[in-house]
Amino acid sequence: MKRYTTQIVLLVVVLLSLGISVLSGKFDAYYMDIALNVGINIILAVSLNLVNGHTGQFSLGHAAFMAVGAYGASIFTLEMSARLMPMLGGPGVFATGFAFLLALLVGGLCAAVCGWLVGMPSLRLRGDYLAIVTLGFNEIVRVILQNTSGDGVFGGPLGLKGIPPLTTFFWVFAIAAICVYVVGSMVSSTYGRGFPAVRDDEIAAGSMGINTVRYKVTAFVVGSFFAGLSGGLYAHLRTTISPEGFNFLKSFDVVVIVILGGMGSTAGVIIAAIVLTVLNEFLRDFEQYRMLVFSILLIVMMIVRPQGLLPSFPILNRKKSA
């Protein structure tokens, strides 16, 4: 039974998400919106933790992959769903859900392709050089989207509007659970032992025959894919997106969550995503002080507890018994 504990937990979370989604009309819309933002940030943070925490790289461009996923999913919904719906029998629950799932997958795959295109040449770098490259990629994506035509499919600097509000509690937390399960399974598998090996000593790992570039690219592509899914969920939650919503500050927010939660700690990152998302909501009326509070919090954590909130959590990281 212990062998399937993780799968059972995943199934329970998905079913609970479905139940809460069905009853979402009974909950306060404001608190439901916060919960959805928490779920989206969990996906972002856990996927970035695979790159920054488990593999030891330092990416500052996660918002770019979120943007690619958001625009890819939104354009698919706006341009293709109208053609797809009649084939699926009209705008029913099944047809709408299937079309939305396809939109999310399109956004995730677009982000994964971008992750591969960036990862192949740049992940031969390490440390500060990789951070600069990913930060540059983040700005390239934002500037390209900002300079597109307002009459085109990308909407120009004003972005896309009129995106259907298809994101529900079920979609957000089901995908969050799958993200946690996939990342946890990868790093705890026999193949996944290469990720911490690359993180701890890349030169030693390479001398032992580990293809360090392949491990880094794999982490980058998987992390980008889930970042793209989170972007699609975000776009269909807000119904309006613009290039400025995916700037460097968004990437910085996700990096702060990973650092405060504990590099390589899935449980710590999840807790940090919840805490910082709720804290960010409380600071909504003090927007000008938000970055100041986050910076002070980051400095204090680095002094008091540099390993993060939860540096390790054996239940999530233990090796599966045969």
Q: Of 72, 54, 106, which is closest to residue 223 (Cα–Cα)? A: 54
CA distance 203 to 237: 44
Q: For residue range 50-85, what is the model confidence (pLDDT) as tens digits?
A: 998 888 888 888 999 999 999 999 999 887 766 766
Residue 16 near residue 177 (C-beta atoms within 8 A): no
Name which residue leads in pLDDT, 316 or 44: 44
Q: What is the pTM of this model?
A: 0.87
CA distance 248 to 103: 25
Band (123; pLDDT cuts 50, 70, 90)? low
Backbone region of residue 163 per phi and psi (left: phi > 0; alpha: psi in -120 to 50; beta: other values) = beta
> Residue 319 above 50 pLDDT?
no
CA distance 152 to 242: 14
Measured from the Cβ of residue 272, the count of other Cβ atoms closer than 10 Å reads 26
Identify the pLDDT of residue 158. 86
Tally of CA atoms within 13 A in the half-sphere of 52 that contains its CB? 30
> Residue 94 above 70 pLDDT?
no
So where are the chain's domains?
A: 36-246
* Bridge partners, 241 (sequence order): 160
> Residue 109 above 80 pLDDT?
yes
Name which residue leads in pLDDT, 11 or 47: 47
Q: Please, what is the end-to-end C-alpha distance for the chain in angstroms?
A: 11
How far from chain centre, in Å, is Cα 57? 16
> Residue 227 above 90 pLDDT?
yes
Identify the pLDDT of residue 204. 86
Residue 25 near residue 100 (C-beta atoms within 8 A): no
> Residue 315 above 50 pLDDT?
no
CA distance 87 to 83: 7
Strongest mean pLDDT among 239-243, 300-304, 314-318: 239-243
Q: What mean pLDDT do residues 206-210 have?
A: 83
Lowest-confidence pick of 25-34, 47-56, 112-121, 302-311: 302-311
Strongest mean pLDDT among 91-105, 147-161, 216-230, 275-289: 216-230
Band (318; pLDDT cuts 50, 70, 90)? very low
Identify the pLDDT of residue 63. 92
Q: Which two tokens stand for residue 110?
A: 């677009």
Band (321; pLDDT cuts 50, 70, 90)? very low
> Residue 218 above 50 pLDDT?
yes
Strongest mean pLDDT among 115-124, 173-182, 212-221, 282-291: 173-182
Strongest mean pLDDT among 64-78, 186-200, 247-261: 64-78
Dihedral angle at the C-alpha atoms of 143, 146, 149, 150, nearest 10 degrees? 180
Q: Of 215, 231, 237, 219, which is closest to residue 111 (Cα–Cα)? A: 231
CA distance 272 to 61: 20
Q: For residue range 158-192, what is the model confidence (pLDDT) as tens digits?
A: 888 888 888 888 999 999 999 999 998 888 888 88
Identify the pLDDT of residue 95. 64
> Residue 314 above 50 pLDDT?
no
Kindly report the backbone phi and psi dihedral angles of residue 160, in degrees, each rounded to the nearest multiple of 5, phi listed first: -105, 140
Q: What mean pLDDT do residues 274-287 have?
A: 82
> Residue 209 above 50 pLDDT?
yes
